[in-house]
Amino acid sequence: MTQARKALNVLESTSAFVKAGLLEKPPVWMKVVASNPPQKDFTKFALRTKQQTTSEKPTHKLYRTRTDPHAAKTKFFKPQKLRFLEDDLRKLFFQQHPWELARPKNIIENTGDDEAFLDWDTIKQVLKPLDGESVVQRTLHLVKNKDNKLSMIEAYDQARLEFYRARIEQEIEQQVTLEESSMYGAVFTKSSTDLGFEAEAPKIAKWKEEALEQTSLFQTRSTAHIHEWASDAAEDTAEAVEDVAEAK
C-alpha cells in the first residue's frame, strides 16, 4: 500500500528534483508519464494496526478494555481544533485585566441577534454595557476598516485606550451622581447582597450550633467507648492474674 502511494507521486517528485537542480536533465520517461499520469485515489483509509490477542500479550490487570491501548490513540479521525481571532483577543484582554471578570454580565438575549443592532464606530453602545467584549469588537472593527490601515496591535491599543477613557467617564458620572443625590437628601438602603447576607446569617449560626452539639455528642460517645474498653481490659487482666495465682 505504501509503495503504491509513493509511485503515484513519482512525477511530482522528479519535477521538483529537476527544478531544484538535483537532476541535470529530465529522465527519458518523464514526458511519457506526464502525458499519461497515473490515476490517484483520494479516498482516506483508516489506519490498520496489528491486532493483538490476549494470549500474545499477557496482562496482570483485573480486566482489559482493548487488546492494544496504543491502537485507539490515532489522530486520524480527530476533528481539528477551532480557533478564532476573537478568542485570542479575549484571552489577552482578560489576562491584562483580570478584575473585569468580576463585573456582572447579562448573557440573556431576546432574539439572539442583538449584535446586529450594535455599531462599533464607537466603543460606547446604548444596548450593551461597557466590558471586555467591547474592546474585542472595537478592535476587529478598526482592523476591518480600510481607511484606518491599522495593524492588529495598533487597533487593540487604540480600542483599549478608548475603553479606559469610557470607563473613567463612567466612574466619574457615578461618583458625581452619588454625591448629588446625597446632597439633596437621598437615603441609600442596603443592597440586595447585604440583605441576602443578613438573611443567611441566622441560618448559618443555627447550623453552627447544631454542628457543635453533634460534635460534642460524638466525642462523648467515643470517650465512653474508650473507658468501657479500658475497664473490660483491666477486668480481663485481673482475672488472668487470679487464674495464674490459683494455678500456683
Which amino acid, 110?
N
Query: Which cell numbers hold the place of 63?
Result: 480486566
Full-prediction pTM beyond 0.75? no
Residue 135, domain member (yes or no): yes
- Under the banding of pLDDT at 50, 70 and 90, the label for residue 96 is very high
Q: Which of 110-124, 126-140, 198-212, 215-229 has the weakest average pLDDT?
A: 215-229
Are residue 197 and residue 216 in the same domain, yes or no?
yes
- Under the banding of pLDDT at 50, 70 and 90, the label for residue 37 is confident
| Residues 67, 57 contacting (CB under 8 angstroms) | yes
Q: Residue 25: give the domain boundaries.
A: 1-46
Say which residue, 178 or 242, is predicted with more confidence.
Answer: 178
Are residue 94 and residue 36 in the same domain, yes or no?
no
Q: Does 88 have pLDDT greater than 90?
A: yes
Q: What are the φ and ψ backbone dihedral angles of 59, each rounded to 5 degrees?
A: -130, 155
In tens, the pLDDT along 202-230 reads 999 999 999 999 888 888 877 766 666 66
Residue 42, domain member (yes or no): yes
In tens, the pLDDT along 157-206 reads 999 999 999 999 999 999 999 999 999 998 888 888 889 899 999 999 99
Are residue 236 and residue 160 in the same domain, yes or no?
no
Residue 51, domain member (yes or no): no
Are residue 178 and residue 220 in the same domain, yes or no?
no
- In sequence order, the 6+-apart residues with CB closer than 8 A to the CB of 92 are 156
